[in-house]
Structure 1
Amino acid sequence: MPPSSPTSPEPPTLVVIRGNSGSGKTTAAREARRRFGRGAALLEQDYLRRTVLREHDTARIDPVAPAFITATARTALDLGYHVILEGILHTERYATVLRQLIGMHAGPVAVFYLDVSFDETVRRHLHRDEPIPVTPGEMRHWYTHRDLLGVAGETVIGEASTVEQTVTTILHASGLTAVVPQTPCPRRCAHCAHDADQPTAAPQTP
């Protein structure tokens, strides 16, 4: 992406939220995007890999998902969307493509790792509104201790952080509280203009 000129908008923000299954990353990512509103793309690893590609998460098949997910993020950024990318995103399969995505992005980047113990991930799974049908044994197989990406400025959020605290940290540390939407819908759409005129934030219509 070429450098921004004085009259062009700043490059969009890339936010990467990683952590083990049950760490709370999906909840935090969805809430962060909800609070930002339109103009931020939420990319969920599980949806793109399981639903779109229907691909197993294993290195033994030379997976397509890592390249597909980061290419999707790159496209959204190029189109002016702030991007919130979330998932387990194991370094074994995703470190190289994520570091390339981060290194090539001209705009702000914020990387978060939700560091939650195995026992706590199991407890959180059991108390989910929509429990995923997995056993603690399966979760143990997926669990990787402190699987940091190892990039500059990576923020580690511990399990003592509440959802509210985690979302607040993500929004403020990434700078999403200080940037505006750059995509056409929030800037030109009559529905978005109507929402902006309301005295209190309301759920946005599809």
Structure 2
Amino acid sequence: MPRVKVGTSETRLVVLRGNSASGKSSVAAGIRERFGRGLALVGQDNLRRIVLRERDRPGGANIGLIDTVARHSELREWYRRLDLLPGGVETVVCAQSGLDDTVDRIMRETGLAVLPAREH
């Protein structure tokens, strides 16, 4: 199968930004499920755990941090209302948008909905 060159009408770069626990990973998984093969996900958690091979282990610093955050709801303090990039180059998805509606919107607005999925 011929390679698709980056930056052509057949490629898209979709960046999902947002606060912790805002649903970025769920939206990315939904887009991938809807689109099919030929869509790569580059997630921060995946890079840390898989690419960098930072493993969970008893007593590891990452386990303590996750435990602290989960037990004290500190994610709320990390939230920044309308934390937008300068220049108006992003689209804001409102908090009331459900997962399916959000995936539908991204698929439509990026053109992924009309691109053919890769066979291999």
Partners of 2:78 and 2:44 lie apart in 1 by 15
- The equivalent residue for 2:12 is 13
Q: CA deviation at 1:11?
A: 4.7
Higher strand share: 1
Are 2:111 and 1:175 aligned? yes
Q: CA deviation at 1:145?
A: 2.8
Could you say what secondary structure the match of 2:105 adopts? helix
Partners of 2:11 and 2:88 lie apart in 1 by 19
Partners of 1:52 and 1:158 lie apart in 2 by 32
Number of corresponding residues: 100
Query: Which stretch has the larger CA shift, 153-162 or 132-141?
Result: 132-141
- The equivalent residue for 1:38 is 37
Partners of 1:152 and 1:145 lie apart in 2 by 15
Could you say what secondary structure the match of 1:17 adopts? coil
Q: Which gives a bigger RCO, structure 1 or 2 (Cα 8 Å, sep 6+)?
A: 2
TM-score by length of 1: 0.42
Partners of 2:110 and 2:10 lie apart in 1 by 13
Gaps of 5+ in 2: 55-65
Letter paired with 1:179: L
- The equivalent residue for 1:161 is 97
- The equivalent residue for 2:26 is 27
Gaps of 5+ in 1: 55-131, 190-206
Higher helix share: 1
Letter paired with 2:16: I
Q: Structure 1 residues 142 and 28 mapped into 2: Cα distance closer, same or farther (>3 Å)?
A: same
Q: Structure 1 residues 13 and 151 mapped into 2: Cα distance closer, same or farther (>3 Å)?
A: farther
Q: What is the percent sequence identity of the aligned residues?
A: 43
Partners of 1:30 and 1:135 lie apart in 2 by 26
Q: What per-residue deviation string (whole Å, max 9, x for no partner) do you get for residues 53-104 of structure 1?
A: 23xxxxxxxxxxxxxxxxxxxxxxxxxxxxxxxxxxxxxxxxxxxxxxxxxx
Q: CA deviation at 1:139?
A: 1.5
Are 2:83 and 1:147 aligned? yes
Partners of 2:115 and 2:46 lie apart in 1 by 27
Partners of 1:39 and 1:151 lie apart in 2 by 30
Could you say what secondary structure the match of 2:114 adopts? coil
